[in-house]
Amino acid sequence: MLAFILRRLAQSIVVMAVVALIAFMLFRYVGDPVASLLGQDSRLQDFEELRERLGLNDPFYVQFGRFIANAVQGEFGISYRLQQPVSELILSRLPATIELAFASAIIALVFGLSLGVFTALKPRSFAAGLIMTLSLVGVSLPTFLIGIGLIYVFAVELQWLPSFGRGDVVRIGSWDTGLLTSTGIRSLILPAITLSLFQLTLIMRLVRAEMLEVLRQDYIRFARARGLSNRAINFGHALKNTMVPVITITGLQLGSVIAFSIVTETVFQWPGVGSLFINSVQVVDVPVMAAYLMFIAFVFVVINLIVDILYFAVDPRLRIGSGRR
Amino acid sequence: MRKLLITASVLALGLAVMPASAETIRWARNSDALTLDPHSQNQGTTHTFVHHIYETLVDRDVEGSLQPRLATEWKVKEDDPTVWVFKIREGVKFHDGSDFTAEDVVFSLDRARSEKSNLKQLHSAVESVTAVDDYTVEVKMTGPSPLYPNNLTNTFIMDKGWTEKNNAVEVQQAGSTDDNYAVRNTNGTGPYILESRDPDVRSVLKINANHWAEKKPDITEIIYLPIADNATRVAALLSGEVDLVQDVPVQDVERLANTAGINVETGPENRFIYFGYRFGDAPLKSSNVTDKNPINDPRVREAMHLAIDRNAIQKVVMRGQSIPTGVANPPFVNGWTPELAAYPEKADVARAKELLAEAGYPDGFSITLDTPNNRYVNDEAISQAVVGMLGQIGIKVTLASRPIAQHSPLIQNSETDFYLLGWGVPTFDSAYTFNDLIHTKAGHFGAYNPSGYTNPELDKQIESLATEIDLDKRNATIAEIWKKVQEDRVLLPIHVQVLAYAMKDKFSLAVHPENQPRMYEVTVNK
Amino acid sequence: MSSTNNSTAAQKPRTRFQRIWDSDVFFSFRRSPVTIVAALVTFILILAALLAPWIAPYDPFNPASLNLMDGFTPPNSESMMGNYFVLGSDHQGRDVLSTILYGSRISLFVGFLATLFAMAMGISLGLLAGYRGGTTDAIIMRIADIQLSFPAILIALLIFGIARGIIPPSKQEGMAVWVLIVAIGLANWAQFARTVRGATMVERQKDYVSAAKLIGVHPLRILVRHVLPNVMAPVLVIATIGLALAIIEEATLSFLGVGVPPTQPSLGTLIRIGQQFLFSGEWWILFFPAITLVLLALAVNLLGDWLRDALNPRLR
């Protein structure tokens, strides 16, 4: 077990290094920060001077070396756009994104699991069919359109919920939370729903598929034949065995939550790292973009590690497999 | 940062329990100020915000004329045409209570023209700044500079003592690695004091009770809320979460105007939208004509000019929210005349086709049009409409649409054959436009002239404008330059942008020509 | 499904073709009206998209044929220029119905190719990783990790960025669709690979694989003939959602400002454009493309759903 974890840790470090390289390399192509940093009044010499000062004229490996050396210390420089230390900017935006992702993950898991189990246990019922069909409508609409639609209905027409922002926040230690004020909670509802719809559908469909699969297995039939209660069979055996792929996919889907949070945050003007990133992309604010990518990669590596370990713990067959390696 | 955030959240808590008061305005626009360091960025959004905290020597009113602000009067020194003398307002105090004197003006102008300042272009003709006494400042220019005060409308005055004490004398530069105190902290003389700031999210300004102006603003508190997405921003106004929306999409103007409780103000912005193209003999990079440059033929440029139905663009694409123009100059700007601004009422497709045929392109040619898609009002849709109009005379245009960050390098590096750009004229004088758009690209000139258009005689005339003191003679030269520019069809102007501010109808605020609305000018209708 | 299972099992063996033809696949098809409708909708939409140049009333991709003054004509009415638009016209005077027909073509093209690309790449790498294990597995899965480290939208944005850097500005627009396909494809392969690899690892432990190995069956044959069919169920779930996802990702990229040129819009671009007119009353510019996209994605998803149940090898 320890060897396994250590090996994965080593791999994770390699992953981070490669991500750093890619992040750094790709951003050299996204656009010219110099053009967006200087205004209409800038002249040619200014461009050259700024390029020189930003080190954009240095060889690639020199720039990359500088980037890595700083990144290891958590130092990503000063945002070109907002002229503040990037690490501070990201840390100050993190609570918003985490609360949003957390809220939407809970919605997705609770509804996804229960609807998935329901549709699997009553696959022929009208309600199950309706849920399956409706859930598909949800994923068949682009996230931004769902967001705009929700804003239009609940903020503009009905005026029940706020259309943008986080509402009032309360600061606890170094964490700004919107969960303790009524405006904060109200502001969270629409974005969290928007963000959760896709994951909800995915989890629900996955649970249903796996559940149906398991319910067909011989051991379930035997269990039924032996007279075990439906409840024990459905939840004690079927659902438990369904969990392996569900854990994997749910874990991996956290990435999509962050991906779609870029769009959701943009639509709802949610002050998280996603909207910070999009704002930075538009003006090619390289330090912020690079730090964001590194951050996302880090989150993923951690999630992957946890998923792998959980996988390892849940499915004993895999333990033999990797033990042999 | 930490302290700032604590105040922000304390304040947020405070707001939650405070009753909504008539004096608070929640002001939404599409992006945030980049910095609070007044000399670090020469960018409209930043200036607009900073104008509430810091003040300039002279200001521009909604009509576009210069008004006294921290300077009470200014004139060229009688015996020396190269020296401007500014009389400074007395009895003004900075937010921290220290006195405002000529020393602060000298310090600020020097800081604004320092190597790292992004405003230094505006002060490139300054040789030295000196305080004659506590309330008089002399600015020595390298030569006669009759229009220098026009360059001062966004040069803010900082407190010398405060700036020195906080090690912020050097301007924070983009890309530097040091954290600069002045980026997040302020000490101005303006009508509002910064209460809290969370970049991209929310900034709160409270009224400055000790401000020098006799007339106190109606608005006592400003909550500034950047909302990037158009639909979300409009929705926030419709749902009553904000009071004033600055960047209203043109298609929503009518809906908002017809909504009970919402009032929309419109007015022209000091910014025109135009197309530029590549001159010179070298073949275009994106055309099927590979042996020569069709655009270099004046008949082709005339045909393109005739093919564009500016009225249709105004009516459909801009929903009436633009002023079509035949000249690349907004009506406020010195040098504009109605004759120059005249344009064909309707597209003349037949004549345009004739001209193309005469030029040797009876079947037209192909070209790529580069357009930004997030910078100007409906920029992409304007370009798309032009693609169709040029298509009707046989010019097959491929549209390449990019965010401005990727579009502008094409222009700076002269990598485009045909492009859309918008241009503001902050000095309200044609020379500004000539310097950057018409003059051959060289040194300080022609930064936004990727077209390769060059005319040495015109260049000489343009350069002479900077030092000409005889205003009549100068205006005559400007008229001559415009005449030549129009003859050669150096630029293909489309329209002057019209701005719309939408607000709850208890507020009123006229559109500012430079899109710099001032919340202290908002009146609250009781 | 168990009744289907019994009935097939009771019948005598037939040819492969016959087995597929009357087996559960078409049996379940006949039994599910929703699936029939979904198939019909998919078929009609694909056909309409393919036949767009012949059935569309206007040619919206030819800018020279457009008249700006036709703009914003409401559905089922004539513009002031005297042109009739059954679903109205957009801000450029384009017929909405025609743009939807042409737009579906582009969306389907991008969606299909991107998903195929992602699937082919994901399955082969996933099988390889799951079956070989060890270093191969570690390398492939670490690459997948890297890929998954970046949200799909982000990857697509990045690939778009590189393409912008490599392709000269004057050629970029022509390449946009291909860049989009590669970008979306590359952004989605890891999902397939992870799932296939996971299932393969479990499958690999099973007796039949060991048995096949023992009697000297070529590993490739084991993978393709035995392991692959067993991992197809989750792959189809992902591919199903993947196709709709690819179309939606294209729309999202358009929303973020990268995508096909607005002069040759896909459904996603049409929605992005239409979204601007949500508050101003021109609902048809958004509504019809959005409905088409939802119908398309929904129908494809429903079909995939049915396929998943019907093709599941353990059902037969």
β strands within B134-279, DSSP E: 136-141, 192-198, 202-207, 221-226, 244-245, 262-277
A258 contacts in chain C (CB < 8 Å)? 151
Q: Token digits for B151?
A: 């360059």
The residue ranking higher by pLDDT, A118 or B11, is: A118
Q: What is the mean pLDDT of residues B174-197?
A: 85
CA B88 to chain centre: 27
Structure confidence at residue B9 as a pLDDT band (50, 70, 90) = very low
State the smallest CA–CA distance between residue C144 and chain B in angstroms: 30
Report the C-alpha gap between B305 and C232 in whole angstroms: 60
The residue ranking higher by pLDDT, C116 or A176, is: C116
CB pair distance less than 8 Å for B391 and C257? no
Neighbours of chain B (3+ CB pairs under 8 A): A, C
Q: What is the mean pLDDT of residues C273-298?
A: 86
A15 contacts in chain C (CB < 8 Å)? 142, 145-146, 149
Place domain C93-315 in its CATH homologous superfamily.
Answer: MetI-like (1.10.3720.10)
The residue ranking higher by pLDDT, C161 or A5, is: A5
Place domain B271-498 in its CATH homologous superfamily.
Answer: Dipeptide-binding Protein; Domain 3 (3.10.105.10)
Residue A165 pLDDT exceeds 70: yes
Residue B20 pLDDT exceeds 60: no
Structure confidence at residue B384 (pLDDT) = 92
Q: What is the DSSP letter of A78?
A: B
DSSP string, chain C: -HHHHHHHHHSPP--HHHHHHHSHHHHHHHH-HHHHHHHHHHHHHHHHHHTHHHH-SS-TT-GGG--GGGTTPPTTEE-TTS-EETT-B-TTS-BHHHHHHHHHHHHHHHHHHHHHHHHHHHHHHHHHHHHH-HHHHHHHHHHHHHHHHS-HHHHHHHHHHHHHHHS-GGGHHHHHHHHHHHHHHHHHHHHHHHHHHHHHHHHHTSHHHHHHHHTT--HHHIIIIIIHHHHHHHHHHHHHHHHHHHHHHHHHHHHTT-SS-TTS--HHHHHHHHHTTTTTT-HHHHHHHHHHHHHHHHHHHHHHHHHHHHH-GGG-
Q: Tens digit of pLDDT for each residue in B428-461?
A: 899 989 988 999 988 778 878 888 899 999 999 9
Q: What is the mean pLDDT of residues B61-65?
A: 79
Q: What is the mean pLDDT of residues B175-188?
A: 81
Could you tell me if C277 lies within 8 Å of chain B, comparing CB atoms? yes
**Inter-residue contact B110 to B91 (CB < 8 Å):** no
**Inter-residue contact B224 to B218 (CB < 8 Å):** no
Helix axes A286-314, A240-268, angle to 10 degrees: 170
The residue ranking higher by pLDDT, A45 or B115, is: B115
Structure confidence at residue A35 (pLDDT) = 58
**Inter-residue contact C100 to C106 (CB < 8 Å):** no
Structure confidence at residue B106 (pLDDT) = 96
Report the C-alpha gap between A309 and B70 in whole angstroms: 67
B10 contacts in chain A (CB < 8 Å)? 171
Residue A163 pLDDT exceeds 70: yes
The residue ranking higher by pLDDT, A137 or B225, is: B225
Structure confidence at residue B403 (pLDDT) = 77
Structure confidence at residue C17 (pLDDT) = 62
Report the C-alpha gap between A36 and B42 in whole angstroms: 11
| Segment (H or E) for B84 | strand B83-88
């070109």: which residue's tokens? A80
Q: Token digits for C282?
A: 């021109």
Residue C255 pLDDT exceeds 80: no
A254 contacts in chain C (CB < 8 Å)? none
Report the C-alpha gap between C270 and C282 in whole angstroms: 13
Structure confidence at residue A44 as a pLDDT band (50, 70, 90) = low
**What ranges in B166-229 are assigned the alpha helix state H?**
181-184
- Using CA atoms, how far residue B319 sits from A198, B313, B378, C83, in Å, is 37, 8, 10, 20
Q: What is the mean pLDDT of residues C283-309?
A: 83
Residues 269-298 on B with a CB inside 8 Å of C are 285-286
- Helix, strand, coil tally for chain B in percent (to 5): 30, 25, 45
Three-state secondary-structure class, residue B174: coil
State what percent of residues in chain B have pLDDT above 70: 94
Structure confidence at residue C118 (pLDDT) = 93
Q: Token digits for A121?
A: 């246990």
Q: Tens digit of pLDDT for each residue in A90-117?
A: 888 888 988 998 898 889 888 988 898 8
Structure confidence at residue C177 (pLDDT) = 84
Sign of CA dihedral B28, B30, B34, B38: negative
């004539």: which residue's tokens? C78
Q: Token digits for B510?
A: 């006229």
Q: Where in chain B is the domain with CATH 3.40.190.10?
A: 24-226
Among B12, B180, B238, select the one facing A169 at the smallest CB separation.
Answer: B12
Structure confidence at residue C164 (pLDDT) = 67
Q: What is the DSSP letter of B395?
A: -
The residue ranking higher by pLDDT, A143 or B126, is: B126
Nearest residue in B to C172, CA atom: B400
Report the C-alpha gap between B202 and A92 in whole angstroms: 13
Q: Which of B406, B400, B396, B410 is nearest to B451 (CA)?
A: B410
Residue C32 pLDDT exceeds 90: no
Q: What is the mean pLDDT of residues C79-96?
A: 85
Residues 336-395 on B with a CB inside 8 Å of A are 374
Helix axes A143-150, A182-215, angle to 10 degrees: 130
Among B230, B388, B391, select the one facing C276 at the smallest CB separation.
Answer: B230
CATH 3.40.190.10 fits B24-226, yes or no: yes
Could you tell me if B360 lies within 8 Å of chain C, comparing CB atoms? no
Three-state secondary-structure class, residue B422: strand
| Contacting residues for A110 by C-beta, under 8 A, at least 6 apart | none
B373 contacts in chain C (CB < 8 Å)? 257, 262
Q: Tens digit of pLDDT for each residue in B202-234?
A: 999 999 999 999 888 999 999 999 988 788 888
Residue A307 pLDDT exceeds 90: no
Helix axes A240-268, C172-204, angle to 10 degrees: 160
Structure confidence at residue B103 (pLDDT) = 94
* Residue A43: other Cβ atoms inside 10 A: 19
Mutate to test the interface with A, among C150, C166, C232 (most CBs of A within 10 A): C150
Structure confidence at residue B19 as a pLDDT band (50, 70, 90) = very low
Structure confidence at residue A325 (pLDDT) = 34
Report the C-alpha gap between A175 and A95 in whole angstroms: 6
Of A144-148, B50-54, B422-426, the poorest mean pLDDT is in: A144-148
Q: Which amino acid is at B215?
A: K
Mutate to test the interface with A, among B4, B180, B203, B239 (most CBs of A within 10 A): B239
Of A245-254, C131-140, C189-198, C230-239, the poorest mean pLDDT is in: A245-254
Structure confidence at residue A20 (pLDDT) = 81
Residue B479 pLDDT exceeds 80: yes
Residue A139 pLDDT exceeds 90: no
- Residue B231's Cβ-side half-sphere holds a number of Cα atoms within 13 Å equal to 25
The residue ranking higher by pLDDT, C143 or B382, is: B382
Q: Residue B291 phi/psi, 5° resolution?
A: -100, -20
Q: Tens digit of pLDDT for each residue in B128-162?
A: 999 999 999 999 999 888 889 988 999 999 999 99
Q: Where in chain B is the domain with CATH 3.10.105.10?
A: 271-498
Mutate to test the interface with A, among C35, C140, C148, C279 (most CBs of A within 10 A): C148
**Inter-residue contact B157 to B104 (CB < 8 Å):** yes
Structure confidence at residue B394 (pLDDT) = 92
Report the C-alpha gap between A205 and C302 in whole angstroms: 12
* Residue B132: other Cβ atoms inside 10 A: 11
Bin B256: left if φ > 0, else alpha if -120 < ψ < 50, else beta. alpha
Structure confidence at residue A28 as a pLDDT band (50, 70, 90) = low
Structure confidence at residue C316 (pLDDT) = 32
Structure confidence at residue B375 (pLDDT) = 83
CB pair distance less than 8 Å for B172 and A283? no
CA B84 to chain centre: 25
Residue A36 pLDDT exceeds 90: no
Structure confidence at residue B14 (pLDDT) = 41
Q: Which of A164, C287, A103 is nearest to B29 (CA)?
A: A164
**Inter-residue contact B397 to B349 (CB < 8 Å):** no
* Residue C7: other Cβ atoms inside 10 A: 12
Report the C-alpha gap between B261 and C74 in whole angstroms: 28
Q: What is the mean pLDDT of chain C?
A: 79
Stated pTM of the model? 0.81
Q: In this structure, are strands B71-76 and B83-88 parallel, antiparallel, or unpaired? A: antiparallel
ipTM (interface pTM): 0.76
Q: Token digits for B331?
A: 């009506």
Structure confidence at residue C38 (pLDDT) = 87
Q: What is the mean pLDDT of residues A184-213?
A: 86
The domain limits of chain C are 93-315
Structure confidence at residue C21 as a pLDDT band (50, 70, 90) = low
Report the C-alpha gap between B239 and B217 in whole angstroms: 26
Q: What is the mean pLDDT of chain A?
A: 77
Residues 122-161 on C with a CB inside 8 Å of A are 133-134, 138, 142, 145-146, 148-154, 157-158, 161
| Contacting residues for C9 by C-beta, under 8 A, at least 6 apart | none
The residue ranking higher by pLDDT, B109 or B427, is: B109
* Residue C26: other Cβ atoms inside 10 A: 12
